[in-house]
Structure 1
């Protein structure tokens, strides 16, 4: 069975640019590149991956695109472009020539999300993405998710994906408000969801596999198997889990699903969503 990791990152570590990598994250406080990931993918039977931006610049986009040209296993790139720019359409035309550039993302979780999602220039940028075949990854925390529903409703033909289940508070086993909002978002058929990044929202050192199941249950029930994507969030996941162990958690969860359903989750949905 083909397997595609829909969400991972690369960076050349810089203490200023990567200030979010704090001293309690020593394991990832270093440069992490394709040479570090490729053997891990091979060991775990992963055929390819999608590299996702981790900083807000076109330099980041070009960096990931160059890595994708040098490494065939990088099947797609989710980059960054200034969607608020007056010249955004020219930049989208420029980037549309890059075959491996599949979409864009902004680290919304660090913004005033309400203001950002109502910004006219940003909304104009979003309105142009589908014209050039680009997707959009939505990165927010669980408490910001309620602001996303009206936003995605405004663009019914745009392909959106929620990163990391919108980061529910797994550490404190809180589900209620997140479940309410995720159910509402899932009603929008143009929105998919990545099952990724869960361990870093749990207790890094003391999580148990059963901590994840209630959250996965909810996204499976509401998004359905056709709109869920497997992702590792490597190397950030290393803060609390090995790549192999994360694969094992998901293999156990989906063990009772049909081979067709498993193929969709582990590869087919990512291939379809990103046009890999």
Structure 2
């Protein structure tokens, strides 16, 4: 099993200002030594570490951790995709096979960010280096994502956290419609991650999650869905074992091959894990 979405950080209250006081459990260091027991207990063999800060320092931090801990099978870093010397930077990082792809925290950007000419140029450059790109957006940004995908050139994409549907208010109609449109593009994958924290953290329920998963599986099929935990952010609403158990419960009647694809093979394929 591969967990395709975890974060690591040394907590800094200024840099990590997104971690508010109501997120007290996250206001501490989360490094690989805190995750390793969770992985072992749930028979997870490795993970992908994903950026949580938008800096080259973050990319180097994750790369350094991946060199220290063999269970980190790859990283999704941050790079300035609008930079005029992007090619030069990507050439440098191409010598680091542990870097699998890149991400920008688009959910925090103003409307139209994805459609900027220099950003799209940067995205189209990634394909020449065989890099993936994680799309991190809120459900309301999906119409912009659809236009963005229409302007990019067959790049390998994955939608993080199922595009954060409004599970708290159970308003999923527009989200579902847009997810179905996006899934028609066969180079786009979707991560099963980050859903519990889109619910009421205390009173989330299995049925709401399963209704969301119904849409994802009907749209993407088992061949383009990747398991992820979003640890440690997950801890706001539950724990690692509960999340894996929930996804295993949902997929219990799937074929062994489909389960293997969701929990391992699709991540290996998408992120080119050795």
Match of 1:95 in 2: 93
CA contact (8 A) 1:140 1:167 kept: yes
Distance across 2 between alignment mates of 1:155 and 1:178: 22
The alignment yields a C-alpha RMSD, in angstroms, of 0.7
Whether 1:9 and 2:7 are equivalent positions in the alignment is yes
1:249 aligns with: 246
1:159 partnered with 2:151: no
Q: Could you tell me how far apart the structure 2 residues matched to 1:162 and 1:204 are? A: 22
Mapped to 2, the partners of 1:228 and 1:271 lie a distance apart of: 12
Counterpart of 2:133?
136
Measure, in 2, the Cα distance between the counterparts of 1:118 and 1:164: 21
Q: CA deviation at 1:117?
A: 1.5
Task: Pick the aligned partner of 1:46 from 40, 44, 47.
Answer: 44
Please state whether the residue corresponding to 1:49 is helix, strand or coil.
Answer: strand
Shift, 1:155, TM fit = 2.3
The answer as to whether partners of 1:152 and 1:160 remain within 8 angstroms in 2 is no
In structure 2, the partner of 1:23 is 21
TM-score normalised over the length of structure 1: 0.98
C-alpha separation between the residues in 1 aligned to 2:242 and 2:115?
Answer: 40
How many residue pairs are counted as aligned between the two chains?
273
Q: 1:119 Cα shift?
A: 1.4
Cα distance in 2 between the residues matched to 1:218 and 1:157: 24
Q: Give 2:177's aligned residue.
A: 180
Q: Superposition pairs for residues 68-217 of structure 1, below 5 Å?
A: 68-114=66-112, 116-217=113-214
Q: Distance in 1 between matches of 2:146 and 2:59?
A: 27
Greater Cα offset, 58-67 or 119-128: 119-128
**Runs (5+) with no aligned partner, structure 1:** none
Q: Distance in 1 between matches of 2:208 and 2:147?
A: 30
Decide whether the 8 Å contact of 1:4 with 1:270 is kept in 2: yes
Matched, 1:259 2:256: yes
Distance in 1 separating the partners of 2:234 and 2:16? 16
Look up the SS of the partner of 1:213 in the other structure.
helix
Worse-matched range after superposition: 70-79 or 119-128: 119-128
Q: Distance in 2 between matches of 1:152 and 1:98?
A: 27
CA distance in 2, matches of 1:57, 1:113: 22
The answer to whether the aligner puts 1:268 opposite 2:265 as a matched pair is yes
SS at match of 2:54: coil
**Post-superposition offset of 1:152:** 1.3
1:221-236 mapped onto 2 (5 Å cutoff): 221-236=218-233
Gap change, CA 1:78 and 1:113, over 3 Å in 2? farther
Unaligned runs of 5+ in 2: none
Instruction: Determine the C-alpha separation between the residues in 1 that align with 2:120 and 2:111.
Output: 13
Which residue of 56, 60, 63 maps to 2:54? Answer: 56
Q: What's the TM-score once normalised by structure 2's chain length?
A: 0.98
